[in-house]
Amino acid sequence: MENTIKLLGNVKNPKTGKTLGDEERWVNAEANENGQVIITYKRDGISPQEKRQIEDDIVDALKSQYDEDKILVKTVSSSETPSAQKPTAAHANLKVGHGVNGNKKRIPNVKKVIAVSSCKGGVGKSTVSVNLALSLKKLGNKVGILDADIYGPSLPLLLNKKGVKPEATEDKKIRPLEAYGLSFISFGLFIDEGDPVIWRGPMLGGVLNQFFFDTKWDELDYLIIDLPPGTGDTQLSLVQNTEVDGVVVVSTPQSVAIADTIKGLKMFQQVNTPVLGMVENMSYFSPDGKEEKYYIFGKDGVKNISTELEVPFLGHIPLEMVMREGGDSGKPYMADDTYKDNEGYASYMDIAEKVAKIGKEKGFFGKLFK
């Protein structure tokens, strides 16, 4: 680690020309069991463009020592820097293995973990999770999906596997099910629909941890996590314990409220999880064979908020009856090539390409996070 610290010595704040060490911005450098090195610095007053420049410079500085895709750069603002980690002198504050991410674990065998989140319920999170997973698969990726909604699991229905019980592997791990070329696991596969919801709460931590760390995924390029709605303790503990590479926030143009959105984004900020962007679902409706668009829930609500918060806008998904029917009948929309000329189909492909691209560029924090 000493060498890592030395290599970072020349990384500068492009705005001031001073090194990050001179500006006492370094918070932590640590290596984890996956061979990754995680560098954390304070981003106060640094714009998204400058942030990208700094990230590039950090990667350049370290690439002689680590593979580029093993170098992770994280940022914190002063208000979230624990006082024990406050730097006392340039570089001296770099500690090994005591970072803000110290307790987060990576899900084994998964390259990128993407959580799909929403502030409100019923906006189409599960539908987007499944169809985004299928679109990423169409781009040539191996994709899994994990239903973390313990109170209202919907994946067994959406993927037509209701009542199927997952098997244990020889080493007593959970073997995910396969559907439409996706691997998936859901709490719904372990309970009967009639079971009272009340006992689910206390089980939550244990069950989710088992899902995250005891499911034996075959090598996956992406694991999509369908989160429960809102920003409750469940979501927070989930993202605190698991290394999530990026978040996709879903909303309808109507149900997007700036206060809720900021609250949601802040939750991810607290745990250093990049927000890849926002998706507007149920954007408009066009009757069959007609050009007109009816903006039933208002126009561009999500797009406008994402512009305001400088979070990437990933795209509009129209209301299509076949999307709802596909969900209810366990045959997801993007698994059915009949719809390949529909606008929704093109939107999903476009969103998947953007997610892959933005994710590759190591995620993105909005203006909110300066």
Ligand X SMILES: Nc1ncnc2c1ncn2[C@@H]1O[C@H](COP(=O)(O)OP(=O)(O)OP(=O)(O)O)[C@@H](O)[C@H]1O
Interface ranges with ligand X (CB under 6 A) = 118, 121-127, 149, 152, 154, 229, 281-282, 317, 319-320, 323-324, 327
Residues 132-171 that bind Mg ion (CB under 5 A): 154
Least Cβ distance, residue 176 to ligand X (angstroms): 20
Other CB atoms within 10 A of residue 226 CB? 26
Comparison of 77 and 160: residue with beta carbon closer to Mg ion? 160
What would the two tokens of residue 201 be? 């709460």
Q: How far, in Å, CA of 291 to CA of 299, rounded?
A: 16
Residues 188-227 that bind Mg ion (CB under 5 A): none
Least Cβ distance, residue 114 to Mg ion (angstroms): 15
Taking CB under 5 A as the binding criterion, the range among 7-15, 54-62, 120-128, 285-293 that sits at the site for Mg ion is 120-128
The count of residues interacting with Mg ion (CB under 5 A) is 3
Q: Does 126 bind Mg ion (CB under 5 A)?
A: yes
Q: How far, in Å, CA of 185 to CA of 211, rounded?
A: 8
Nearest to 117 by CA among 253, 299, 248, 283: 248
Least Cβ distance, residue 186 to Mg ion (angstroms): 10
Comparison of 42 and 125: residue with beta carbon closer to Mg ion? 125
Q: Does 252 bind Mg ion (CB under 5 A)?
A: no
| Number of Cα atoms under 13 Å in the Cβ half of residue 334 | 27
Q: How far, in Å, CA of 261 to CA of 272, rounded?
A: 17
Comparison of 13 and 118: residue with beta carbon closer to ligand X? 118
Rounded to whole angstroms, what are the CA distances from 106 to 68, 236, 240, 303? 18, 16, 11, 32
Q: How far, in Å, CA of 367 to CA of 272, rounded?
A: 15
Identify the DSSP state of 232.
-
From ligand X, Mg ion, none, interface partner of 127 (C-beta below 5 to 8 A by class): ligand X
Least Cβ distance, residue 266 to ligand X (angstroms): 20
List residues near Mg ion by CB under 5 A.
Answer: 125-126, 154
